[in-house]
């Protein structure tokens, strides 16, 4: 039975074209800076997103960690959303490994952080306080695209208050495709950006941190320190390059599939949150466990949560969506 896995967009398999690109990749030792494919990926993304430099790393968690640590010293503070990946889902790495104090702020319904709340959280220059150095945003945030005008206002605020601005752009390209703009129109507002290649883009491994040459130089040292220096990493970078060259525009298909899934479930009477990109959130309440088991028996993998998240991706076809809707319909009457 073919499996329809909606738990995350991380579950994709490399496409045949991607596997060929990996097989054919020219390799060298990247810790010596000699892997031509890694260098090509780093140059490609830095240029595309409008930065001086970039750094290939194994995971988005490491990419964010290096970004935060490159901006902030021990005893500094960063402002971040209460539900942000960097704060909530990365093992507290910035605090544990960087001695960076997080200042979390409750997020708004549209995925943004209120600028007045941010401004109120910035600490005065006083030896009682940690030094507020950085604001970290996430885009997309739980599938929501931050408005461009908001990013511009956040940039103005951080510049005025002397803070750096980091973007966890794990799903940057979902936001760009949704807005119909080149990704650099989003990244232009930021001092550093982390992009995941292993989410909707479909690479098996890898993230890239972009920033100034100086920032990326610091991040490169930190990458070695946390054990992220890889050798013939070009096989992995080749997958990322292939994804960036061939699998960006198709994210629109994922968005259309998510839209169709949401519409189908609404017709069945489920409470589905508005969909912007590739994530569908549906209220299933205490039936979460039963629904998961019911769907598992029909080859559909779901998470089990009262606010159930379903994510569309490269390995989900339009026909799969109809099957999922049919399973939910059967569950309703079961």
Ligand X SMILES: *Cc1c(COP(=O)(O)O)cnc(C)c1O
Please say which residue, 170 or 321, places its beta carbon nearer to ligand X: 170
Task: Please report how close the Cβ of residue 329 comes to ligand X at its closest, in angstroms.
Answer: 30
Query: What stretches of the chain show up as alpha helix (H) in DSSP?
Result: 16-24, 36-49, 60-71, 85-88, 93-98, 115-121, 148-160, 172-179, 184-187, 213-225, 234-246, 251-267, 288-296, 318-333
Q: Does 170 bind ligand X (CB under 6 A)?
A: yes
Task: Please report how close the Cβ of residue 207 comes to ligand X at its closest, in angstroms.
Answer: 6
Please say which residue, 122 or 170, places its beta carbon nearer to ligand X: 170
Please say which residue, 141 or 316, places its beta carbon nearer to ligand X: 141
Please say which residue, 76 or 168, places its beta carbon nearer to ligand X: 168
Task: Please report how close the Cβ of residue 93 comes to ligand X at its closest, in angstroms.
Answer: 10
The residue behind tokens 């030792």 is 29
Instruction: Quote the longest CA-to-CA distance of the chain.
Output: 63
205-244: contacts with ligand X (CB under 6 A)? 207
Give the C-alpha distances (Å, rounded to integers) separating 143 from 10, 125, 174, 219, 239. Answer: 14, 36, 8, 28, 24
Site string for ligand X, 41-70 (x = CB under 6 A): ------------------xxx--x------
Q: Does 168 bind ligand X (CB under 6 A)?
A: yes
Please say which residue, 34 or 273, places its beta carbon nearer to ligand X: 273
Structure tokens at 77: 């503070």
Q: Which residue's Cβ lies closest to ligand X?
A: 60
Q: Does 276 bind ligand X (CB under 6 A)?
A: no
Q: Count of alpha carbons within 13 Å of 159, Cβ hemisphere only? A: 9
- Under DSSP, the state recorded for 26 is -
Contact of 191 with 71, CB cutoff 8 Å: yes
Q: How many whole angstroms separate alpha carbon 211 and alpha carbon 216?
A: 6
C-alpha angle 197/135/221, rounded to 5°? 55
Task: Please report how close the Cβ of residue 208 comes to ligand X at its closest, in angstroms.
Answer: 11
Site string for ligand X, 116-155 (x = CB under 6 A): ----------------------x-----------------
Of positions 25, 70, 118, 196, contacts ligand X by CB under 6 A: 196
Contact residues for 180 (Cβ-Cβ < 8 A; gap 6+): none
Q: Strand 192-196 vs strand 207-211: parallel, antiparallel, or unpaired?
A: antiparallel
Of positions 39, 68, 78, 85, contacts ligand X by CB under 6 A: 85
Task: Please report how close the Cβ of residue 139 comes to ligand X at its closest, in angstroms.
Answer: 9
Chain contacts with ligand X (rule: CB under 6 A): 59-61, 64, 85, 138, 168, 170, 196, 198-199, 207
């Amino acid at each position: 039975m073919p499996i329809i896995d909606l738990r995350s967009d991380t579950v994709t398999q490399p496409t045949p074209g991607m596997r060929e690109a990996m097989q054919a990749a020219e390799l060298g030792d990247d810790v010596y800076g000699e892997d031509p494919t890694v260098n090509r990926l780093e140059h490609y993304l830095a240029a595309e997103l409008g930065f001086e430099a970039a750094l290939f790393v194994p995971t988005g968690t490491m990419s964010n960690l290096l970004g935060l640590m490159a901006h902030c010293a021990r005893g500094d503070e960063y402002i971040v959303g209460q539900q942000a990946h960097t704060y909530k889902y990365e093992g507290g790495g910035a605090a544990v490994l960087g001695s960076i104090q997080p200042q979390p702020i409750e997020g708004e319904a549209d995925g943004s952080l209120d600028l007045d709340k941010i401004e109120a959280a910035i600490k005065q220059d006083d030896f009682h306080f940690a030094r507020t150095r950085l604001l970290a945003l996430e885009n997309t945030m739980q599938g929501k695209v931050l408005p461009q005008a908001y990013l511009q206002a956040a940039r103005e605020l951080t510049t005025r208050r002397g803070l750096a601005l980091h973007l966890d752009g794990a799903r940057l390209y979902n936001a760009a495709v949704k807005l119909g703009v080149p990704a650099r129109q989003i990244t232009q507002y930021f001092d550093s950006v982390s992009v995941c290649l292993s989410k909707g883009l479909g690479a098996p491994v890898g993230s890239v941190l972009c920033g100034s040459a100086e920032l990326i130089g610091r991040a490169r040292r930190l990458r070695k320190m946390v054990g992220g220096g890889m050798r013939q990493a070009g096989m992995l970078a080749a997958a990322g390059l292939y994804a960036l060259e061939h699998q960006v525009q198709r994210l629109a298909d994922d968005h259309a599939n998510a839209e169709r899934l949401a519409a189908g479930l609404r017709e069945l009477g489920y409470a589905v949150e508005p969909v912007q990109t590739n994530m569908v959130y549906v209220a299933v309440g205490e039936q979460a466990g039963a629904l998961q088991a019911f769907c598992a028996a029909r080859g559909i993998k779901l998470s089990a949560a009262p606010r159930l998240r379903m994510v569309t991706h490269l390995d989900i076809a339009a026909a799969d969506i109809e099957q999922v809707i049919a399973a939910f319909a059967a569950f309703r009457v079961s």
